[in-house]
Structure 1
Amino acid sequence: MTIFSKIIAGDIPAYKIAEDNRFFAFLDIFPLVEGHVLVVPKIEVDKFFDVPDDYLGRMLLFAKPIAKAIEKAFPCNRCGLSVVGLEVPHAHLHLVPINGVNDLNFTRGKLKLTPEQLKAAQEKILKAMGKQQ
């Protein structure tokens, strides 16, 4: 069982952004920039392009309102999307507020935000989505 499956199951706490019957979105606790969100399928599949076909398109549709909310909640040019998948063997998308291509550089040092900063980022995104925590 991956750490993402444990988060989905509620065994590990997370700063949840959205959930439906197929997907779960939550803040990356070691983000590239504030507002970095992970979107994962609830099924445990290692590689992104091994995710079943009927999930792939729906994953982007699930991520779309989150990406729009990130753009509203954080000063950025746009919400960037990346699929890397090397750190956790569970397919996932990174939604990252970006102002330049280097904001998606995963070799940079990651931020170490406090729980209060993470909670504030979660609340900003949820508010931009029209949801309350």
Structure 2
Amino acid sequence: MSTVFDNIITGVWPGRFVWADDLCVAFATIEPTSPGHVLVVPRTSYEAWTDAPSDVAAHLMKVARAIGLAQKSAFDVPRAGLVIAGFEVPHTHLHVIPLRDESDVSLSKAAPATDEELDSAMTALRQALLSAGHGAHVPPSMGSAALA
């Protein structure tokens, strides 16, 4: 049975992608806690992050760090936060969140964003990733998880 994330990754449902590689993708959540909030999701579905092989889990953390550094630059925030909960979708995903203060890390604060807000935030984050030298992993189209 495919998950909502499988459908986003394969293009059945729309997504706004900032990262794509052989093991994972990162895309905007439609209910961010702050502008620039993204999900790092393995291409292979693992129900819980502890089910992922160690090399996959380590890669997800490496990608989350690169995105967190780009968020600090793109959104002029003092921190980037990381949350791994996984109750809402049974497919491993890491929430990488630009933090202005500790309340931004609270997933209960998540609220729907407009298309314009999401497009603006993801455009800024994609540019920050490009500027940081991650161009090989920024998909050519924001609407696709396809590798270059």
TM-score class, shorter-chain normalisation, is over 0.9
Shifted more, 114-123 versus 99-108: the winner is 99-108
Q: Which deviations, in whole Å up to 9, do the C-alpha atoms of 1:86-118 show, x marking residues without a partner?
A: 10000110000112222111222x232211111
Within 5 A, what are the aligned runs for 1:45-124? 45-108=46-109, 110-124=110-124
2: CA distance between counterparts of 1:79 and 1:73?
11
1: CA distance between counterparts of 2:25 and 2:108?
25
Output the amino acid matched with 2:117. Answer: Q
The aligned residue for residue 24 of structure 1 is 25
The alignment of Structure 1 onto Structure 2 pairs a total of residues equal to 132
Output the amino acid matched with 2:39. Answer: L
SS at match of 2:82: strand
Output the amino acid matched with 1:126. Answer: R
1: CA distance between counterparts of 2:97 and 2:68?
8
Output the amino acid matched with 1:52. Answer: P
Q: Which runs of 5+ in 1 are unaligned?
A: none
Within 5 A, what are the aligned runs for 1:27-38? 27-38=28-39
Give the CA RMSD over aligned residues. 1.3
Note the C-alpha offset of 1:10.
1.1
2: CA distance between counterparts of 1:102 and 1:39?
21
Q: Normalized against structure 2, the TM-score is what?
A: 0.84
Q: Which runs of 5+ in 2 are unaligned?
A: 142-148
2: CA distance between counterparts of 1:12 and 1:28?
13
1: CA distance between counterparts of 2:23 and 2:78?
29
2: CA distance between counterparts of 1:41 and 1:59?
7
Note the C-alpha offset of 1:71.
0.7
Structure 1's consecutive aligned runs of 4 or more residues displaced over 4 angstroms after TM superposition are: none
